[in-house]
């Protein structure tokens, strides 16, 4: 489901006014600004979430996930058992997806950590050190 950018802008404006919005408040905004989905689309989305949930819980002996979704040549989703797969295209697709998620989470972590330090009164000081500090 593609949402109109104005919906995101309106919800972002609400967050500027209320940075700690409750789930109920957000649901109210969704009810107000987002059209109701088709029941068939809802069922398909639910099945997709369940499939992802189930395969994401299948892990190796080190508790590392080893099944991931990847698109095939026709655009259909396939669930790939990475330890047994020899399909370089699918493995590369999974690798790139994981890397993008990793980089996005890393950026989000840095942003939240910086805000946490600001709120908690911690400041970061950057010093320039010369090669001969102890002379």
What's this model's pTM, rounded to 2 decimal places?
0.63
Interatomic CA distance for residues 85 and 57, integer angstroms:
18
Q: What share of the chain in percent tops pLDDT 70?
A: 89
Tokens found for residue 122: 């911690």
Average pLDDT, stretch 64-73?
A: 91
Higher pLDDT, 121 or 97: 97
Residues in CB range of 93: below 8 A, 6 or more apart: 70, 71
Q: What is the per-residue pLDDT across 100-128, written as a single tens digit (0 to 9) for each?
A: 999 999 999 999 999 999 998 876 555 55
Per-residue pLDDT at 30: 87
Which of the pair, 18 or 104, is modelled with greater confidence? Answer: 104
Contact 78, 72 (CB under 8 A): yes
pLDDT digit string (tens) for 24-37?
Answer: 988 998 888 888 88
Q: Report pLDDT for 62.
A: 95
Query: What are the residue boundaries of the structural domains of the chain, listed by start?
Result: 1-36, 37-119
Helices (H), the chain: 5-17, 23-33, 39-56, 88-119
CA distances from 88 to 66, 68, 69, 81, 102 (A): 15, 14, 14, 13, 20
From 51, 63, 65, select the one nearest 98 (Cα to Cα). 65
Considering only residues 49 and 72, tell me which one the structure prediction assigns the higher pLDDT: 49
């Amino acid at each position: 489901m593609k949402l109109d950018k104005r919906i995101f802008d309106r919800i972002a404006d609400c967050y500027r006014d209320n940075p700690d919005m409750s789930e109920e408040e957000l649901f109210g905004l969704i009810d107000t600004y987002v059209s109701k989905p088709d029941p068939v689309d809802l069922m398909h989305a639910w099945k997709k979430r369940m499939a992802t949930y189930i395969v994401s819980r299948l892990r190796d002996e080190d508790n590392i996930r080893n099944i991931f979704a990847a698109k095939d040549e026709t655009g259909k989703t396939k669930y790939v058992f990475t330890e047994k797969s020899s399909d370089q295209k699918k493995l590369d697709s999974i690798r790139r997806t994981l890397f993008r998620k990793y980089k996005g989470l890393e950026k989000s972590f840095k942003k939240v950590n910086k805000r946490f330090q600001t709120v908690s009164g911690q400041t970061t000081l950057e010093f320039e050190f010369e090669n001969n500090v102890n002379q």
